[in-house]
Chains A and B, each alone.
Chain A
């Protein structure tokens, strides 16, 4: 039996930084800036543990409390004009520009503060290394959320395991390990910026001239959400581990289901513009679930001097929006994410290429991006007679992230020779050779990416031969690509659409290595411990429908100026004395 009370020394870390810099802003006026900041972190952790064995019964108990606090401060000052550059002290600034005008020094400062606390209780019990039970509960609090009921979260968890091969009735000696596992637990996350729960105003300097002088103004900025709380997740998993015949067969299988709710998100899309931005910038709104499995199979064996091993790792995960708060109330189903895959890509639905002006005249087109023969024809999903991205853009593509990923590794050695191959694959995703830039920030987010497919030589890029050979001309009406124009008459083809989505499935030989290690007994004579020569290749073979466009299947979503992964070959000698 063992009882331990442990209080880790309260640990504080502090970092200080100081910078000094010069740059010129107005003419040749010397400018001197100095900035100093400090960061302070203070954590405490106290725990009580109790371990005891009663015959076949074994019990571990843990109680733990931890706190974490951070503080930061920064100040900076910028002064203008120095009579003597070598006397670079802020006290020596003249506050005059070279042109002789007064320029007031600029000062700035800010601070930050955060506190979180957590309590953990956990009990582990096992009987004769056969039955395992674990129960735990966490109680976490964060300054990020306002109010007693919102600030704290209770996170229980429980898991059980059964080591079947340890049962007395189990007598198959070829089974080295057979274990069935299962668990359920709750976790929580808090990734938001601070003070989103309170209403705040912004102060802007020199905003208006009133009374003959510049004055500040104050504007309402954050509409605080007092209900803001932790995003929570329920996790369920079952698993089976097996090792048979001393490694001739090994397996680890995990199947999981995760249900995330109260996910923190911005909700702009779901409000009418007439609400004037009067909604919480962040709220616990979205729900997502994930299901999938992770499987590892292994096999290794030795036959005389010959050793080999094989290992397959296969993962599958599918994430689905159970509720997406950005869905518009009156939007058609094809524009809603709820029920669709997380990461589903948007685009218009393409219906081949226009062949004649007559077809165009009788079809829905976008008035702001007129179509010409050889341009992409789109489906008017809402049937209003025109194509517009606001009305006809739909979730048409799968996520850019593969649902299936895996690898196969083969290794063999024989009398100093060895070979090591690693294949990897990704299946079940779509790559847009021209799509919509996605992300959370930046001007490009949400915009349709023009690429060399719709605009040859775009941004000093190239126009590859396959594009030229296979583009639409009156003589080549069944072309794979629209008609090519260096200066397009209209940007009709630049929209993301099903025309540009391709299956991203790939398998590639990621690395391959062959080598030879010289026998030790030869080498020790010349004072060398090991000598190995090897040839290694990286990214050697790729099987993918995208290969014919020279597109890397692992490239980001919009194909525009992506620098592809390189193929490298290495010849190496490894010498150890």
Chain B
């Protein structure tokens, strides 16, 4: 038997060389930085160019602002149409905008906690280095828990590796506090600015800005207000002059962004899903802005358009598109605008932009069912959709949102109406709209339209409507519309063909059945779903 130890050593000598072992990572700082890099990808995943929020569909398609043209079920297709007309399709057994059970959010959280656990185990680096890594990682843990909390309220909280058998969920208040603490730690430890080699990493401003957003969802108005002021007082951020550049990143307005590289990667494919067919690509135009969204825009002089004459029936009077405020022109492609050098038709017989009635064919192939196309988030300089990847930067948080967050928090706190008005007017002033001074009673309606318009298609509206608990009122028993243009006739058309519904219980998405089946902590379903 003396041969055996030798034999064992012989078996031990087989070394794997294809993968990195967890110890090797902690041997030099650059490897740890690479490990932290993996969490930055979450900004892409949960952003509008990623697929985590709703399997790739924009959540705006669950509001009155955006419509996918396909009847056939699918992502960036009929799934959202099914959800708004048939909300019973969402249950504990499935919900495409739930992120609990699809191997996403909790896997992200586990990986973040795994980093922190390995850091405690292996890191021999100085305290300040460790803090910088921990601050970045805890920022992202707060960011992912925010994604869970905005869907469910109270969820299962892990600040370390998962425990065998699972844990019970915490209250909504404890969940928001957990998020607050992670973002607070991040804000305290992260620098205001990184050196050039680390540009693009999360900063103090990003952590405060995220906190101001999260605390609005939590209903913690003072914390939201304070966090927004913390960003403002850094005096590092400002609004850019041109709204059309505001969401493009790499400017003074961008607080947190994820950049792409069309040649080497990472890149994305957003343009290929939404460009009109005249861009030389047949699979775009999958989702388009609705007439309801268009009607949210004021005229450039701050007056409103009376749309009733178009609602009443076909007319040859053209809507006053050209007179609408700059944000409309920067957000929506409409008849008469110029897109990639072409004057757009957006009509049934158009060459540049073609209208097709919803349900006429199962896939739209670059046509619009609403008479409009999306302009915001698309890259007008990208002309070869077929061969070149999209590289438009994703801006997760920009300064205008922080101002609006402050306005909302100040209004909710009471006694700060003028601060709220000022913050909102700063956003309006950038696009040349006159300042408004609504009363306490009028403020909220004014504010939420401002937020809808300013942050249009940046992933806010659906979640805002849920946290305001307005979705079951406004997104219930209604239909969305488009503008069917035939020659010079404009016809206001129903683009749904069925009524839309929103059930109150959807404010809290259910615990997935896979969790209930396998979690041994005694976890219970949310009351709303019992």
Residues of A within 8 A of B (CB): 26, 65, 67, 110-111, 113-117, 141-143, 148, 151-152, 194-195, 198-222, 269-278, 328-331, 367-368, 386, 388-391
| Cβ distance B190 to chain A, nearest Cβ, rounded Å | 14
Contact (Cβ within 8 A) B25 A201: yes
| Cβ distance B511 to chain A, nearest Cβ, rounded Å | 9
B302 within 8 A of A: no
Contact (Cβ within 8 A) B11 A386: no
Contact (Cβ within 8 A) B518 A151: no
From the candidates B8, B31, B94, name the one contacting A148 in the complex (CB within 8 A): B8
Contact (Cβ within 8 A) A273 B41: no
Q: How far is the CA of A201 from the CA of B21 in the complex (A)?
A: 6
Q: How far is the CA of A221 from the CA of B35 in the complex (A)?
A: 12
Contact (Cβ within 8 A) B34 A200: no
Residue of B nearest to A102 (CB): B263
Contact (Cβ within 8 A) B21 A199: yes
Residues of B within 8 A of A391 (CB): 93, 513
From the candidates A194, A328, A388, name the one contacting B91 in the complex (CB within 8 A): A388
Residue of B nearest to A219 (CB): B38
Contact (Cβ within 8 A) A274 B167: yes
Residue of A nearest to B267 (CB): A206
User: Mind listing 28 A-B residue pairs with CB under 8 Å?
Assistant: A143-B12, A143-B14, A152-B4, A198-B21, A203-B19, A203-B20, A203-B34, A207-B41, A207-B266, A210-B201, A211-B199, A218-B25, A219-B111, A220-B22, A274-B162, A274-B166, A275-B110, A275-B162, A278-B110, A278-B161, A329-B519, A329-B520, A367-B88, A367-B89, A368-B94, A386-B91, A389-B93, A390-B93
Q: How far is the CA of A221 from the CA of B18 in the complex (A)?
A: 12
Contact (Cβ within 8 A) A201 B20: yes
Residues of A within 8 A of B21 (CB): 198-201
B188 within 8 A of A: no
From the candidates A115, A211, A329, name the one contacting B200 in the complex (CB within 8 A): A211
| Cβ distance A153 to chain B, nearest Cβ, rounded Å | 13
Residue of B nearest to A368 (CB): B89
Q: How far is the CA of A221 from the CA of B111 in the complex (A)?
A: 9
| Cβ distance A294 to chain B, nearest Cβ, rounded Å | 37
Contact (Cβ within 8 A) A276 B110: yes
Contact (Cβ within 8 A) A270 B518: yes
Residues of B within 8 A of A276 (CB): 106-111, 158, 162
Contact (Cβ within 8 A) A151 B11: yes
Contact (Cβ within 8 A) B266 A113: no
Residue of B nearest to A330 (CB): B517
Residues of B within 8 A of A218 (CB): 20, 25, 31, 34-35, 37-38
Residues of B within 8 A of A216 (CB): 34, 37
B336 within 8 A of A: no
Contact (Cβ within 8 A) A390 B8: no
From the candidates A115, A143, A195, name the one contacting B19 in the complex (CB within 8 A): A195
| Cβ distance A302 to chain B, nearest Cβ, rounded Å | 58
| Cβ distance B433 to chain A, nearest Cβ, rounded Å | 35
Residues of B within 8 A of A222 (CB): 19
| Cβ distance A1 to chain B, nearest Cβ, rounded Å | 27
Q: Mark B159-174, 1 if CB is under 8 A from A, else 0.
A: 0011000110000000
Contact (Cβ within 8 A) B110 A277: yes
Residues of B within 8 A of A219 (CB): 35, 38, 111
Residues of A within 8 A of B476 (CB): none
| Cβ distance B512 to chain A, nearest Cβ, rounded Å | 6
Contact (Cβ within 8 A) A277 B107: yes
Q: Mark B12-28, 1 if CB is under 8 A from A, else 0.
A: 11111111111001000
Contact (Cβ within 8 A) A274 B199: no
With contacts A211-B196, A218-B35 taken as known, whether A388 is within 8 angstroms of B41 at the C-beta atoms is no
Q: How far is the CA of A331 from the CA of B518 in the complex (A)?
A: 8
Residues of A within 8 A of B222 (CB): none
From the candidates B88, B162, B201, name the one contacting A278 in the complex (CB within 8 A): B162
From the candidates A203, A214, A388, name the one contacting B265 in the complex (CB within 8 A): A214
Residues of B within 8 A of A389 (CB): 93
B526 within 8 A of A: no
| Cβ distance B135 to chain A, nearest Cβ, rounded Å | 16
Contact (Cβ within 8 A) A275 B106: yes
Q: Mark B510-528, 1 if CB is under 8 A from A, else 0.
A: 0011111111100000000
From the candidates B22, B102, B258, B518, name the one contacting A200 in the complex (CB within 8 A): B22
Tell me the total A-B contact number using a CB cutoff of 8 A.
Answer: 201
Residues of B within 8 A of A (CB): 3-4, 7-8, 10-22, 25, 31, 34-35, 37-38, 40-41, 82, 86, 88-89, 91-94, 100-103, 106-111, 114-115, 156, 158, 161-162, 166-167, 196-201, 258-261, 264-266, 387, 512-520
Residues of B within 8 A of A26 (CB): 387
From the candidates B17, B34, B161, B260, name the one contacting A217 in the complex (CB within 8 A): B34
| Cβ distance A42 to chain B, nearest Cβ, rounded Å | 12
Q: How far is the CA of A272 from the CA of B156 in the complex (A)?
A: 11
With contacts A214-B266, A367-B91 taken as known, whether A200 is within 8 angstroms of B20 at the C-beta atoms is yes
Residues of A within 8 A of B200 (CB): 208-212
Residues of A within 8 A of B93 (CB): 388-391
Residues of B within 8 A of A205 (CB): 265
Residues of A within 8 A of B17 (CB): 111
Residues of A within 8 A of B197 (CB): 211
Residues of B within 8 A of A67 (CB): 10
Contact (Cβ within 8 A) B162 A208: no
Contact (Cβ within 8 A) A217 B35: yes
Q: How far is the CA of A313 from the CA of B260 in the complex (A)?
A: 67
Contact (Cβ within 8 A) A117 B196: no
Contact (Cβ within 8 A) B86 A368: yes
From the candidates A200, A221, A273, A386, name the one contacting B106 in the complex (CB within 8 A): A273
Residues of B within 8 A of A199 (CB): 21-22
Residues of A within 8 A of B8 (CB): 141, 148, 151-152
Q: How far is the CA of A277 from the CA of B103 in the complex (A)?
A: 7
Contact (Cβ within 8 A) B37 A217: yes
Shortest 9 CB-CB contacts between residues of A and residues of B = A276-B110, A367-B88, A390-B93, A206-B265, A328-B517, A217-B37, A217-B38, A200-B19, A272-B519
Q: How far is the CA of A334 from the CA of B150 in the complex (A)?
A: 35
From the candidates B40, B103, B158, name the one contacting A273 in the complex (CB within 8 A): B103
Residues of B within 8 A of A272 (CB): 166, 514-515, 517-519
Q: How far is the CA of A269 from the CA of B514 in the complex (A)?
A: 8
Contact (Cβ within 8 A) B518 A220: no
Q: How far is the CA of A425 from the CA of B11 in the complex (A)?
A: 47
Contact (Cβ within 8 A) B38 A207: yes
Q: How far is the CA of A117 from the CA of B4 in the complex (A)?
A: 10
With contacts A272-B514, A273-B100 taken as known, whether A278 is within 8 angstroms of B20 at the C-beta atoms is no
Residues of A within 8 A of B115 (CB): 220
| Cβ distance A213 to chain B, nearest Cβ, rounded Å | 8
| Cβ distance A31 to chain B, nearest Cβ, rounded Å | 16
Contact (Cβ within 8 A) A208 B515: no
**Apart from A217-B37, A328-B514, 8 more pairs, CB < 8 Å:** A111-B18, A114-B14, A115-B11, A152-B4, A200-B19, A220-B114, A388-B91, A390-B92
| Cβ distance B50 to chain A, nearest Cβ, rounded Å | 13
Contact (Cβ within 8 A) B514 A273: yes
Q: How far is the CA of A278 from the CA of B259 in the complex (A)?
A: 30
Contact (Cβ within 8 A) A214 B261: yes
Residues of B within 8 A of A368 (CB): 82, 86, 88-89, 94
Q: How far is the CA of A204 from the CA of B111 in the complex (A)?
A: 15
Residue of A nearest to B12 (CB): A143
Of the listed residues A209, A212, A221, the one surrounded by the most CB atoms of chain B closer than 10 A to its CB is A209
Contact (Cβ within 8 A) B266 A208: yes
| Cβ distance B151 to chain A, nearest Cβ, rounded Å | 13
Residue of B nearest to A200 (CB): B19
| Cβ distance B499 to chain A, nearest Cβ, rounded Å | 16
| Cβ distance A323 to chain B, nearest Cβ, rounded Å | 16
With contacts A209-B200, A209-B261, A210-B201 taken as known, whether A141 is within 8 angstroms of B11 at the C-beta atoms is yes
From the candidates A211, A215, A220, name the one contacting B111 in the complex (CB within 8 A): A220
Contact (Cβ within 8 A) B89 A208: no
Residues of B within 8 A of A151 (CB): 8, 11
Residue of B nearest to A113 (CB): B14
| Cβ distance A331 to chain B, nearest Cβ, rounded Å | 5
